[in-house]
Structure 1
Amino acid sequence: MNNYISPTNLGMRYFTVFFLFIFTLSGFSQETSVKGTIINDNTLLPIWNANIVNTNKVRGAISDSKGNFEINADVNDILLISCLGFQSIEIKVTNDWIKSQNSRIKLTEKAYALEEIVIPPYTLTGYLEVDAKLIPERENYWYSIAGLTKRYEGGENSPNAFNRVMGSLFNPADALYNFFGKRPKELKKLREIRSDENLRNILQNKYDRQAIYLMFGINEKELLEILERCNYSEAFTKSANDLQVLDAINGCYEEYKILKKK
C-alpha cells in the first residue's frame, strides 16, 4: 500500500484546512443583529423615528416609516427604546429574538398635564431706564486655567466655582478621575460614542439621561457629582442634551489626564 503524498496534494490539504479555519473565524467575528417593529400600543399603528439605543454595545438606530429597525446586539444586551410622546422602555435581547429576527414592540402614549404658568412679579413702566433697574441682573464670572482652552462658569449660575476648580486641581482623589480610572469599560463606551453617528443624533435629542444611566451604570446623584466636579453650572446640567453632557464629561476627563501628568 502506497502512503506517499505528493507535495502538491499536501499543499492542497494545508490550504483547505487554512481556508476552513479562516472561514470559521470570520463566522465567529460577525456581529449579530436583531430586527423589530415598533407600534403604538393603543392604535397598533407603526411608530416612525423612534430611538433605539443598545446601552451595552453603544450603538443606535432609528425606526423607519413602517416602524422597522435593525441594530447590532447580542444575547442579554439591553435596548432602550424611546420616542417623543411615548413612555420609554428597556428590553433585554433573548435567543428567541435573535433566531426569529423580528419582534413587535409596543410603546404606550404618555398622558400630559398642563403645568401652571408663573408670571414674574415685575411691574414695568415702559421706560427703559426705569425698567432696567427693576429687573435683577444676573452676574456671571468665568475662571480659566493656564494651558487649558476651557473656561469654568461662576457667578449666580454656578456659585463657588472658583473653589471647585482649585479643589479639582489639588485633590488627588478626584471623583471623576477615580470613577473612569476604575471602570475601563465605561471609559471605552464614552470614547465609542464619537464613532456612531446614529447614536449621536439620538442623544442630541434626548434630555432624560436614561441612556447615560444605563450605559455607565450610574444614577442621577452620581451624574450630578461628576458634572459638578467638571465645574459645569446648574443651568448647563438642566438645559444640556444627553450628547452635550457626555461630550462635556469626555472633554473633562481628557483635561484631568493632562493635569495628572503635569
Structure 2
Amino acid sequence: MKNHLLLFICLFVSATAITQEINSVMGVIVNSSNGEPLENVNIVNLNQVKGTSTNSEGNFQIVAKVNDTLHLSYLGFKSIKVRVTNDWLRFGSSKIELTELALALETVVVNQLKLTGYLEVDIKQVPIINNNYRYSISGLSSGYEAGKSSTITKIIGSIFNPADFLHRMFGKNPNEMRKLKKMKEDDEIRNLLASRFDREMLMALLQVDRIDLDEIVSQCNYTKGFIQTANDLQILDAISECYEEYKVLNRSRR
C-alpha cells in the first residue's frame, strides 16, 4: 500500500513539474477559405507583452500561460483574439483560421492647382509644410515636434487639471501604460510595429480606441501631420516619452 502511495505521489509531482515547465504555446495559422498557411502573421501576447510572427509554413511559438490572450493580425484578414487554455499548453500545436476581409477602395479626390503664371499669386496656393522637430522617435532625427506650446506645458496642465485628457489616460490606466516599457524592450514587437500603420496592435495592448490613441499623441504636442504619417513604432515612442515626462512631473508635484 505504501509503495502504491509513493508511486502516486511521484507521478503527481512529475506531472506538476512538467506542467510548470510549459511556458509557451505553438500553433499554425491558415486561411479559412482554402487552408493555406499564412506567413508573417503578427502574434502578440497581450498579457506578457511578447510578440512573434509565423514562418513560411504558418507555424509559430510564443511565451504564454493559461488565460493569456493572444492577438493575431494579418493584412487583409480579420484580426482575432485567442485565449490560451490548459489543453492547448498540454497537447501542443493548435490550428487557427483567419478570415479574409472584403476590401473596398475609398473615393480619392484630387484637387488640381489652378496656376495663373504669376509667382506672387501661385505661391499662395501651395500648401505650407511645417518643419517639425522631435525627440527620441525611431527612424526620425532627434527632437520633439515643435509647436506653439511645449510638451512640458501640456503635461503640466494635465497634472494640475484632474479633468484633463492626459491625466485620465496616464493617471488612471497605469497597468496599460506600464506595458509601454515592455513593448519598447521587446525587439520582436518593435520590428512588428515598425512595419505597421494601422494602430491595431497598440490599441489592443493599451486598451484604447483609435480616437483616444490619436488624442493622446495630439495632447503630447505632436502635429496632425505626424499622427497621420508615423508608423506604429514612432507612435509608441512618442507616447512613451510623453508618459515618462508625465511621471517625473507628477512625482515632483507630490
**2:239 paired with 1:249:** yes
Per-residue deviation, residues 163-190 of structure 1 (Å, max 9, x unmatched): 8863433441354355334444223311
Per-residue deviation, residues 78-108 of structure 1 (Å, max 9, x unmatched): 1111112222111111222112211111112
CA distance in 2, matches of 1:151, 1:103: 45
CA distance in 2, matches of 1:28, 1:188: 29
**2:185 paired with 1:188:** no
Aligned with residue 111 of structure 1, among 102, 108, 117: 102
SS at match of 2:123: helix
CA contact (8 A) 1:62 1:69 kept: yes
**2:155 paired with 1:168:** yes
CA distance in 2, matches of 1:230, 1:140: 17
Residue 217 of structure 1 deviates from its aligned partner by: 2.0
- Runs of 5+ unmatched residues, structure 2: 1-13, 135-141
**2:222 paired with 1:232:** yes
Q: Which has the larger radius of gyration?
A: 1
Q: Which residue of 2 aligns with 1:209?
A: 199
SS at match of 1:162: coil
CA distance in 2, matches of 1:167, 1:252: 10
How does 1:101-180 map onto structure 2 within 5 Å?
A: 101-124=92-115, 129=119, 132-133=122-123, 135-138=125-128, 140=130, 150-154=143-147, 161-162=148-149, 166-171=153-158, 172=160, 173=162, 175-177=165-167, 179-180=169-170
Identity of aligned residues (%): 38
Letter in 1 for 2:246: Y
Residue 42 of structure 1 deviates from its aligned partner by: 1.4
CA distance in 2, matches of 1:215, 1:31: 24
SS at match of 2:71: strand
In the superposition, relative to structure 1, how do residues 204 and 31 fare at CA in structure 2: closer, same or farther (>3 Å)? Answer: farther
Q: Which residue of 2 aligns with 1:75?
A: 66
Aligned with residue 83 of structure 2, among 75, 81, 92: 92
Q: Give the structure-2-normalised TM-score.
A: 0.76
CA contact (8 A) 2:32 2:97 kept: yes
**2:31 paired with 1:44:** no
CA contact (8 A) 2:133 2:143 kept: no
Per-residue deviation, residues 37-91 of structure 1 (Å, max 9, x unmatched): 0111112111111111111111001100110000011122111111122221111
Aligned with residue 56 of structure 2, among 50, 60, 65: 65
Letter in 2 for 1:80: H
Q: Give the structure-1-normalised TM-score.
A: 0.74
Residue 229 of structure 1 deviates from its aligned partner by: 1.9
Per-residue deviation, residues 166-218 of structure 1 (Å, max 9, x unmatched): 34334413543553344442233111112211111111222222222222222
Q: Which residue of 2 aligns with 1:32?
A: 23
Task: State how many pairs are aligned.
Answer: 229
